[in-house]
Structure 1
Amino acid sequence: MKHAEHTRWQETVQHLLAVRRPEQAEQLLRHRLAINPQEAAAHELLGLVLLNQRNRNAEALAAIREAIALDPQQPDAHYFHSVWLLRNEQPFEALRAIEEALRLNARNATYLGYKAVILNARQHPEAALETTAQGLFLDPGHVECLYQRIRALKDLGRYELAVVTLQQLVRWHPNLAVAHAQLGEEALRTHQLKVAEGHFREAIRLNPTNERTQRKLLPLLAQLGQEAQRQRKPDEARRYFLELWRLAPHEPAAHHGLEQLAKESFWLKRQLLRLDAWSEAVQQDLKKGQLRAFLQLYLVMVPLMALFCLPLLLVMLYATLQWRLHPDVQRLRQHSRQATIGRVAVEVGVGLLGLGLIVALRLWLNTVSDEVILVLLGLLAVSVGVNVLRQRRKASSSLPK
């Protein structure tokens, strides 16, 4: 009966710790120690309870040492001592303490799992892998052993085996937040952004207070928003950027993404951004020496160069129309009046088309080097000069001698 009563109060303390109520567990232990001040098990659990509270390190160490002094053969006391030592950056002493716990109880998967924690912290993944194998032989679904095995395999670069172990962890513990967080990291490593998002959100749902997982979600939201923006999905991109902004109001990626989407919501701005992107692509192709890029540049720059000669073009167009509408010309060409009107319409249409191209491609002036502009201007001037000389020769040859 006394043994059942002894087990009951220990189970109550463990339950209070499981539901994250360490203060009530401490009150229960203080009350028991007031009655039995020399009870090693009570000091041992008091050390564990104090380890689960902030800024109680010194008290926790005192309770653990008291438990070891009262009963040095209790392996849990050495285990808790090892936890305290590792938290206070004493990995060598922590390893000795967990070895003592394993000496007293060698078939405890929890002790083996924590030994793997220490070995991974000391950058000894091979030894950690061997330790987790021993723990999983005793308990194939042990959480800490599976998790530390995954860490060790990743440190060794054996990602395929790490994924297999991770799948085992999820099968054994489907509602474990850390398992979904690990799956999210693996999906992120293989650039499966949507899959990573699902796992990170599930990990946060299972453990909303885990700040580490929330921090990993933030850059992922930025990447998803940028990817949706590249795929011309503004509503989806806006949803991601807005969520990122709500979670981190000072995140630059959220501000930049929302501002960019606002600019793209205007039709003219969208066209200019599209033209700018096309311009950058052509310039990259030019650097690679692709013939298609030179052809695109020529077809764009020829009407663009007309912008510099726009007054001359307008004068020429006016002169052409004036000459065509002269009474003597009309009298001479009465039989081909319809053809004349057609030619004038074509010439006017070509002029308007050139003006449209000039307006639409004005942005190129800021992206093309001065050397290219000068060369094209020279070519244009030469072609105009050759055409003028040819017209003069024709005119002189047609005059009566």
Structure 2
Amino acid sequence: MNYSTDWLPRVQLLMQQNRLPQAADELRRQLSLDPHEPVAHSLLALCLLDDAQRLPQAQEEAELAIHLAPEYDFAFYVLALVQHRRHRPQEALAAINQALALDPADASYYHLLGQLRLESGQWQAALQAARTGLSFDSEHADLHGLEARALARQGRGQEASEAARVALGHGAESSSIQAQAGWVALETYRSKEALDHFREALRLDPTSDFARSGLVEALKARYWVYRTFMRFIYWVNSLSAGLRRGLLLGAYVVARFVPWLLPFYLVFAYLSWFKDPLFDSLLRLNRYGRYALSPAQTLHSTHFLALLGLGLAAGLARLLGAPVPGLSTLALVALGLLFPLVGTERLASQPKQHSYSRWAGWALAAVGALAVALAVLGIPTQLLMVFIYGTVAYTWVFALR
């Protein structure tokens, strides 16, 4: 076997230069000489992270590195990164905890742990992870950015802004740090400042989806309805899980017993569901917004507008007394299908649930289409009620879980 490490500096240089395909080729050459090198397998997994089609291969490489060196903490860290990219938070959490068990003093490990906690809504745990990591590396810019995000989610705006400034002081030339600062500004109600950070992040890395999605949110925040609604959402997210559930349940109960509040509750409920496609559609009228939206967001907006327009047009025609059978059924089906359409898009980061939601949506569409056809033909049927109950069941199974 060839135990020389001459290859390692070359690979590290290529990776620093973001020449990942060349680094991967170099690693494969090394592994052809020594297939039992855990460092090479781990680095190859890292090189494959940015290619969604190769994430299964990246996972195989990381797991092979762990098999070859069960005490190699970096291999567990790489496996956690891969699982994170594959939207498997529990598996990623198990891997990063194992990495920390082997090396409890690596700041980057705490950064990934904090990210996972932040994404699962555990704001205090994310903050604790960030500050523990900073105790080992006080100049870790990503950890300062994570600290700022966790503070912002807890409603501690002044502290969050200060942490974001510290992060920028250590990594102003990093696209991810600029994007983190943008999200902090957005979540502390400074949308103009957020726009500047997201634009700078995209200048530094035009391919950053994290920065692009932030830019879209900042552009939508220019609409006062969206901005006001999101302020409420950020405030709700700063509460504990128990308080959030109590608030939403209490709002429903109050709306039931105070009839004049019911329209406000319904507006809140519908905005909760449809704010993203609705305001994405409005952004298509903005000269900057239409370029900020991804192709997937634009396509989703088109589908949303088509169903919404069809439902409203059919409903209006029915109200105006158009002599066309089935208009009421068509309006209800078109508007009802907005729920699985938007719900499926929300689950895009959860492949299994996304697939189930898509099939449920197609099933509802088939029932709805048949109900419309029978209504047009004047054939009595209970399919419309089946569709309505199915739509309600969908919201409980997929959206409120």
Taking structure 1 as the reference length, what is the TM-score of the superposition?
0.52
Q: 1:90 aligns with which of 88, 91, 94?
A: 88
**Could you say which residue in structure 1 is the equivalent of 2:204?**
206
**Could you say which residue in structure 2 is the equivalent of 1:145?**
143
What is the 5 A alignment of 1:1-400? 6=5, 8-188=6-186, 194-217=192-215, 242-243=287-288
Please report how far the alpha carbon of residue 151 of structure 1 lies from its aligned counterpart in structure 2 after TM superposition. Answer: 2.1
CA distance in 1, matches of 2:29, 2:130: 38
CA distance in 1, matches of 2:59, 2:34: 20
Q: Unmatched 5+ residue regions in structure 1?
A: 227-239, 252-401
Q: Which amino acid aligns with 1:157?
A: G
Please report how far the alpha carbon of residue 10 of structure 1 lies from its aligned counterpart in structure 2 after TM superposition. Answer: 2.0
Deviations 1:184-239, CA, capped at 9 Å, x for gaps: 4454556655544433332222222224434544575688799xxxxxxxxxxxxx
Deviations 1:59-109, CA, capped at 9 Å, x for gaps: 112211211111111111111111222223332232221121112111110
- Asked whether the 8 Å contact 1:114–1:144 carries over to 2, the reply is no
CA distance in 2, matches of 1:18, 1:63: 20
Please report how far the alpha carbon of residue 28 of structure 1 lies from its aligned counterpart in structure 2 after TM superposition. Answer: 0.6
Q: Structure 1 residues 51, 136: closer, same or farther in 2, change over 3 A?
A: same
CA distance in 2, matches of 1:147, 1:187: 12
Structure 1 residue matching 2:48: 3-state secondary structure = helix
Q: Structure 1 residues 14, 52: closer, same or farther in 2, change over 3 A?
A: farther
Give the number of aligned pairs: 235
- Asked whether the 8 Å contact 2:215–2:292 carries over to 1, the reply is no
Deviations 1:45-71, CA, capped at 9 Å, x for gaps: 222222232311221122112111111
CA distance in 2, matches of 1:190, 1:114: 23
Please report how far the alpha carbon of residue 31 of structure 1 lies from its aligned counterpart in structure 2 after TM superposition. Answer: 0.8
Q: Structure 1 residues 9, 162: closer, same or farther in 2, change over 3 A?
A: same
Q: Which amino acid aligns with 2:196?
A: G
Structure 2 residue matching 1:55: 3-state secondary structure = helix
Q: Structure 1 residues 194, 43: closer, same or farther in 2, change over 3 A?
A: closer
- Asked whether the 8 Å contact 1:222–1:241 carries over to 2, the reply is no
Q: Structure 1 residues 39, 169: closer, same or farther in 2, change over 3 A?
A: same
- Asked whether the 8 Å contact 1:187–1:193 carries over to 2, the reply is yes
Highest CA radius of gyration, 1 or 2? 1
- Asked whether the 8 Å contact 1:46–1:60 carries over to 2, the reply is yes
Q: Unmatched 5+ residue regions in structure 2?
A: 225-284, 299-401
- Asked whether the 8 Å contact 1:22–1:53 carries over to 2, the reply is no
CA distance in 1, matches of 2:49, 2:66: 16
Q: Relative contact order, CA 8 A, sep 6+: which one is greater?
A: 2
Q: Which amino acid aligns with 1:172?
A: H
Structure 2 residue matching 1:79: 3-state secondary structure = helix
Q: Which amino acid aligns with 1:81?
A: L
Q: Structure 1 residues 78, 190: closer, same or farther in 2, change over 3 A?
A: closer
Please report how far the alpha carbon of residue 24 of structure 1 lies from its aligned counterpart in structure 2 after TM superposition. Answer: 1.1
- Asked whether the 8 Å contact 2:152–2:187 carries over to 1, the reply is no
- Asked whether the 8 Å contact 2:83–2:89 carries over to 1, the reply is yes
Structure 2 residue matching 1:47: 3-state secondary structure = helix
Q: Structure 1 residues 109, 215: closer, same or farther in 2, change over 3 A?
A: closer
Structure 2 residue matching 1:56: 3-state secondary structure = helix
Q: Structure 1 residues 165, 16: closer, same or farther in 2, change over 3 A?
A: same
CA distance in 2, matches of 1:87, 1:174: 25
Q: Structure 1 residues 220, 21: closer, same or farther in 2, change over 3 A?
A: same
CA distance in 1, matches of 2:60, 2:8: 20
Deviations 1:297-329, CA, capped at 9 Å, x for gaps: xxxxxxxxxxxxxxxxxxxxxxxxxxxxxxxxx
Deviations 1:333-375, CA, capped at 9 Å, x for gaps: xxxxxxxxxxxxxxxxxxxxxxxxxxxxxxxxxxxxxxxxxxx
Q: Structure 1 residues 129, 224: closer, same or farther in 2, change over 3 A?
A: closer
Q: Structure 1 residues 208, 111: closer, same or farther in 2, change over 3 A?
A: same
- Asked whether the 8 Å contact 2:182–2:214 carries over to 1, the reply is no
CA RMSD of aligned residues (A): 3.1
Taking structure 2 as the reference length, what is the TM-score of the superposition?
0.52
Please report how far the alpha carbon of residue 243 of structure 1 lies from its aligned counterpart in structure 2 after TM superposition. Answer: 4.8
Q: Which amino acid aligns with 2:130?
A: T
Please report how far the alpha carbon of residue 147 of structure 1 lies from its aligned counterpart in structure 2 after TM superposition. Answer: 2.2
Q: Which amino acid aligns with 1:173?
A: G
- Asked whether the 8 Å contact 1:193–1:220 carries over to 2, the reply is yes
Q: Which amino acid aligns with 2:177?
A: A
CA distance in 1, matches of 2:10, 2:115: 28
CA distance in 1, matches of 2:188, 2:37: 53
- Asked whether the 8 Å contact 2:117–2:126 carries over to 1, the reply is yes
